[in-house]
C-alpha cells in the first residue's frame, strides 16, 4: 500500500525534530493530525517507527533505515515542483522550433538574442530547414511549432499570421530600376529573373496570382532557397522575385526591393503549429518574441496581424493568398 506525501513529510519532521509537537508546528498541523499520519504509516507497513513513552519519542531501527530515502524523495519532489513552477512561469524549460532557412539567416539570431535576454534559463533548439519542410517538422512533432510561409489546404495545422510582405523585384542598388517606386509584372517579365521552382509555395502564390489576370511568369534561374536568390541578385546575375523582408537583414547595403504591382501579391509569414494543440509556456514565450521581432523588421507585424487563420480550407485559401 502506497504512502502519501503528507505522511512521509510527517515522518521526516517527527524524526528530525524529535517530537510530535515540533513537527506539527513545522507542518502547520495539529499534534493529533501528525500522530494520525504516523499511525497510518505504521498500520500500512506493519512496523513501528517510534517507541513512545510519556516523555520521549525514540526512532526504531525501521525509522533509521527509512529516513534517508524518505528525505531524498521529498527533495526530488521539491525539485520537480520547482521545475513545474519554472515552466509555468517561463523561468525554465525547453522549446524546439523550425524556421525556414532564409528567415533563420535573416532574423533567427535576432530572435534568439531577444529571447535570451527575456528568458535566459529556457533552452532553445532552432532547426533551420528548407521552406517546404517547416510544416513537415511540425506534423512529425520534431518541433513544437514553426515560423514560415503560410500553407493552404492543410487541415492538420493551425496558423497565425505574424507578418505580411509584398512580392518585390530585388535588385542591386546601382540598378536603374532601384529608383522606381514600383514595377509591373509585365515590366519584370522582360528582365533576367531569379525565383523558386514551380510547385514551391512562393512560386505557387506567384503563378496562381498571375493566372487570374492571364499572365505568366518564367524566371531564368530557379533556386530552392530565398537567401540563395538574394546572393545571386547581389552578384548582379539577375533580379530576385520574392518577398522583400529578408533584404535589409542579409544584403541591405547592396540590394533594394521594388514592389511589384498589377497585380500586387502579398505573402503571409505565419506561426505554424499542429492543429488542436496548445503551445507550451516556453513556446508561447518564443512566439511573443517572434511577433515583436517581425513587427519591428517588416512594419507589418503583430499590430496589423496576429490573426489566427480559420481552419476550413476554403476560408484559409482566401486569407493566405491575397491578390490586389
Q: State the DSSP string of 147-164.
A: EEE--SS-TTEEEEEEEE
> Distance between CA 99 and CA 106 in Å, rounded?
11
- Per-residue pLDDT at 116: 93
pLDDT in tens, 171-213: 999 999 999 999 999 999 999 999 999 988 889 899 999 999 9
- Per-residue pLDDT at 258: 95
Cα–chain-centroid distance for residue 221? 33
Q: Output 55 or 63, whichever has higher pLDDT.
A: 63
- Per-residue pLDDT at 13: 92
Q: Output 56 or 321, whichever has higher pLDDT.
A: 56
How many helices, marked H, and strands, marked E, lie in the chain?
Answer: 13, 14
- Per-residue pLDDT at 193: 97
- Per-residue pLDDT at 307: 45
> Distance between CA 215 and CA 204 in Å, rounded?
13
The confidence band for 250, taking pLDDT boundaries of 50, 70 and 90, is confident
Residue 126, sorted as left (phi over 0), alpha (psi -120 to 50) or beta, turns out to be: beta
Instruction: Provide the grid cell at 23.
Output: 513537527
User: How confident is the prediction for the chain on average, in pLDDT?
Assistant: 85
**Portions of the chain given CATH number 1.10.10.10:** 5-88
Q: Which of 64-73, 79-88, 163-172, 225-234 has the lowest mean pLDDT?
A: 79-88
- Per-residue pLDDT at 263: 94
pLDDT in tens, 94-136: 889 999 888 898 899 999 999 999 899 888 999 999 888 999 9
Q: Output 81 or 11, whichever has higher pLDDT.
A: 11
pLDDT at 291 over 80: yes
Architecture of 5-88 per CATH? Answer: Orthogonal Bundle (1.10)
Q: Which fold has domain 163-266?
A: D-Maltodextrin-Binding Protein; domain 2 (3.40.190)
Please state which CATH number belongs to domain 97-160+274-319: 3.40.190
**Portions of the chain given CATH number 3.40.190.10:** 163-266
The confidence band for 90, taking pLDDT boundaries of 50, 70 and 90, is low
- Per-residue pLDDT at 144: 92
pTM of the full predicted structure?
A: 0.65
The total of other beta-carbon atoms located within 10 Å of residue 176's CB is: 8
Q: Output 114 or 302, whichever has higher pLDDT.
A: 114
Cis peptide before 263 (omega within 30 of 0): yes
The confidence band for 280, taking pLDDT boundaries of 50, 70 and 90, is confident
Amino acid at each position: 500500500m502506497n504512502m502519501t506525501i503528507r505522511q512521509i513529510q510527517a515522518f521526516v519532521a517527527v524524526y528530525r525534530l524529535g517530537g510530535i509537537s515540533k513537527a506539527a508546528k513545522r507542518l502547520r498541523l495539529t499534534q493529533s493530525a501528525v500522530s494520525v499520519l504516523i499511525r497510518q504509516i505504521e498500520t500500512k507497513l506493519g512496523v513501528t517507527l517510534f517507541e513512545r513513552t510519556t516523555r520521549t519519542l525514540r526512532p526504531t531501527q525501521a525509522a533509521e533505515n527509512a529516513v534517508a530515502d524518505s528525505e531524498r524523495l521529498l527533495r526530488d519532489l521539491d525539485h520537480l515542483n520547482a521545475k513545474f513552477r519554472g515552466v509555468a512561469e517561463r523561468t525554465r524549460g525547453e522549446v524546439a522550433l523550425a524556421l525556414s532557412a532564409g528567415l533563420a539567416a535573416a532574423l533567427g539570431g535576432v530572435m534568439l538574442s531577444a529571447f535570451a535576454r527575456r528568458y535566459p534559463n529556457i533552452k532553445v533548439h532552432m532547426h533551420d530547414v528548407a521552406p517546404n519542410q517547416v510544416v513537415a517538422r511540425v506534423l512529425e512533432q520534431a518541433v513544437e511549432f514553426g515560423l514560415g510561409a503560410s500553407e493552404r489546404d492543410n487541415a492538420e495545422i493551425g496558423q497565425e499570421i505574424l507578418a505580411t510582405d509584398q512580392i518585390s523585384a530585388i535588385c542591386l542598388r546601382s540598378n536603374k530600376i532601384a529608383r522606381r517606386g514600383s514595377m509591373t509584372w509585365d515590366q519584370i517579365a522582360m528582365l533576367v529573373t531569379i525565383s523558386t521552382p514551380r510547385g514551391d509555395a512562393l512560386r505557387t502564390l506567384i503563378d496562381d496570382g498571375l493566372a487570374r489576370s492571364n499572365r505568366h511568369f518564367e524566371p531564368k534561374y530557379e533556386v530552392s532557397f530565398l537567401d540563395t536568390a538574394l546572393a545571386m541578385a547581389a552578384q548582379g546575375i539577375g533580379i530576385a522575385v520574392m518577398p522583400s523582408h529578408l533584404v535589409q537583414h542579409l544584403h541591405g547595403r547592396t540590394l533594394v526591393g521594388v514592389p511589384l504591382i498589377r497585380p500586387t501579391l502579398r505573402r503571409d509569414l505565419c506561426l505554424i503549429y499542429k492543429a488542436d494543440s496548445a503551445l507550451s509556456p516556453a513556446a508561447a514565450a518564443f512566439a511573443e518574441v517572434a511577433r515583436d521581432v517581425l513587427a519591428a523588421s517588416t512594419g507589418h507585424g503583430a499590430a496589423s496581424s496576429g490573426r489566427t487563420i480559420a481552419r476550413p480550407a476554403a476560408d484559409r485559401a482566401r486569407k493566405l493568398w491575397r491578390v490586389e
